[in-house]
Amino acid sequence: MSRPADPPQRGIAPGVDRLGDRLVNFYLIEESEGLVLVDAGLPAHLGQLRDHLAASGRTLGDIRAVLLTHGHPDHTGLARTLEQAGADIRIHRGDADILREGPRSALRHAKPERPLLPYLLRRPAAVATPLRLARAGAFTAPAVPGVRVLTDHRPLDDVPGTPHALALPGHTPGSTGYFFPRLGVLFTGDALVTHDGLTGETGPRLVCRGFTHDGHAALAALDRIDELPATTLLLPGHGDPVAGDARTATRKARHAGLR
pLDDT given for residue 6 in this prediction: 63
Q: What average pLDDT score do residues 78-104 get?
A: 96
pLDDT given for residue 2 in this prediction: 37
- Long-range contacts of the stretch 247-252 (C-beta < 8 A, 24+): 249/192, 249/204, 249/225, 250/192, 250/204, 250/222, 250/223, 250/225, 250/226, 252/203, 252/204, 252/205
d(CA 188, CA 69): 7
pLDDT given for residue 5 in this prediction: 43
For the stretch 30-77, pLDDT in tens is 999 999 999 999 999 999 999 999 999 999 999 999 999 999 999 999
pLDDT band at 7 (very low <50, low <70, confident <90, very high): low
pLDDT given for residue 105 in this prediction: 96
Q: Write the CATH number of the domain with boundaries 9-256.
A: 3.60.15.10
For the stretch 182-224, pLDDT in tens is 999 999 999 999 999 999 999 999 999 999 999 999 999 999 9
Q: What average pLDDT score do residues 218-231 get?
A: 96
pLDDT given for residue 196 in this prediction: 96
